[in-house]
Structure 1
Amino acid sequence: MIDLYKIMGIKRSAPRKDIHKAYRKKAKTAHPDGGGSTEAFNQLVVAYSVLSDEGRRARYDETGEIEPQQPDNLDGGAIEIIAEKLGLVIHAEQDLASLDVGALIERAIQDDIAARKASVAHQQRAGERLSKLRGARKRKGEGEGDLVARVLDWHELAIQGQIKKNEGTIRHLERALEILKDYSFADESAVAPSEEVVEALNDILVSLDELAAILNSSPSRAEAMPKEAEPTAFG
């Protein structure tokens, strides 16, 4: 079991204000910019988020659980995404014959993945700016509690939460693409008539060719018609 108190470097009886102080002190060295590592900093963030919340801290002290166990239902999330995309197609009131439904849904999911990845990159850059801001912050006077530090802590937790949420959604979107590879939405009933039409047109063309050949091999209309009688002296 992970010892969150050990990660924070505090006693189990430490009051909340000591948790804030310990986090700010540890964050300077645990962050990659301060010589630490991403893993160490993430552990510190988790420890702080649990121990600074009275309810979560009490549950951790009692059960040792950092969070209630919530399995990542990858297929369930993927199916929800597919259901949403299919719903848009179903209610679009467009002729399905004019749509490549499979390609349409796949493209929409790929666009979502790209947007989520862009959001993760944005949040990571925001985290880097926050870290620099934390390092540049200097308090002019002494007082009870550091409200600005708490605000920065809140932003840090929010950024980590957004990154985690987007990364989870990306996994579900990618799983949705894998599932859709096994399916086709082509309207097979619309294929047969088109083939019949093509066959009928070919028959018509053959008939026209045959008719043209017959006409070309027959005497011309002028030759086939009887000649008019030449006028006589009696008119």
Structure 2
Amino acid sequence: MIDPYELLGVSQDADGQAIKNAYRKRAKTAHPDAGGDVDAFAKLTASYELLSDPLRRKVYDDTGFDPELADSKDLQGLVILETLVNDIILDEREPGSFDPVAAMRRKLTDKIVNARFHILEMERHRARIRNHMDRIGKKPEADVLGRMLKSRCETINEAIAKAETEISNIEKAYGMLDGYSYEVDVVEVKSAAE
């Protein structure tokens, strides 16, 4: 996630004029016509637009998030975390009686393990298909079976790539939990002898 304040070189309490001045100053050297990088200039402009819009700026200040400044992995990570936050909200246990942050980490770890297991299964199927392909004698005119089996391998390759992307997104969500802890109430357990 890009920090628009840092990119423009202004403090969080900067007023509209200070933001405008900072943008103009940086735009002189960042603009592609002045030899600047197109992507860097686009980020600078997006930061300026965010901080110039009072509503978007308030949302960013409150959440640290703006969809236009986030990369796709950040967005996917946030979507994953959103579902886990809903789980916390719907959990009927008393706050302090369990650690929801640890529960989110466990769920994310389980998702990664399941996705990796799924990849291993798909790789096993793909290897079996390739083995069949190597053993089937090809028909001289049209290799219908060979094309079908090759198509299945390509489909499996696409599914593996999709699962690897999912793992990357889950890892991003997991990383977003770094630095969080949760205070659980200590409950004294009385022994049976008492």
Note the aligned Cα RMSD (angstroms).
2.4
> What displacement does 1:153 show?
1.9
Kindly indicate whether structure 1 or structure 2 has the higher relative contact order, using CA contacts under 8 Å at least 6 residues apart: 2
Give the match for residue 157 of structure 1: 154
Give the match for residue 100 of structure 1: 99
> What displacement does 1:172 show?
0.9
- Alignment partners' CA distance in 2, 1:115 and 1:80: 19
Look up the SS of the partner of 1:79 in the other structure.
helix
- Alignment partners' CA distance in 2, 1:169 and 1:77: 9
Amino acid at match of 1:157: E
Give the match for residue 87 of structure 1: 86
* Alignment: residue pair count: 118
- Alignment partners' CA distance in 2, 1:120 and 1:134: 21
Of the three residues 120, 141, 166, the one matched with 1:169 is: 166
- Alignment partners' CA distance in 2, 1:164 and 1:171: 11
Look up the SS of the partner of 1:182 in the other structure.
coil
- Alignment partners' CA distance in 2, 1:99 and 1:135: 55
- Alignment partners' CA distance in 1, 2:170 and 2:132: 34
Give the match for residue 62 of structure 2: none
> What displacement does 1:107 show?
0.5
- Alignment partners' CA distance in 2, 1:177 and 1:133: 40
> What displacement does 1:99 show?
1.6
> What displacement does 1:183 show?
2.5
- Alignment partners' CA distance in 2, 1:154 and 1:103: 42
- Alignment partners' CA distance in 2, 1:123 and 1:154: 14
Give the share of equivalent positions with the same residue, in percent: 23
- Alignment partners' CA distance in 2, 1:168 and 1:83: 18
- Alignment partners' CA distance in 2, 1:186 and 1:82: 20
Give the match for residue 41 of structure 2: none
Q: Deviations over 1:68-123 (max 9, x none)?
A: xxxx7111111111111111121122222212001000001001111111111111
- Mapped pair 1:182 → 2:156: no
- Alignment partners' CA distance in 2, 1:169 and 1:127: 20
Give the match for residue 73 of structure 2: 74
Amino acid at match of 2:123: Q
Amino acid at match of 1:135: D
- Alignment partners' CA distance in 2, 1:142 and 1:124: 29
TM-score, L = length of structure 1: 0.45
Moved over 2 A (4+): 182-187
Give the match for residue 146 of structure 1: 143
Amino acid at match of 2:104: I
Unpaired segments ≥5 residues, structure 2: 1-70, 188-194
- Alignment partners' CA distance in 2, 1:80 and 1:120: 22
Amino acid at match of 2:147: R
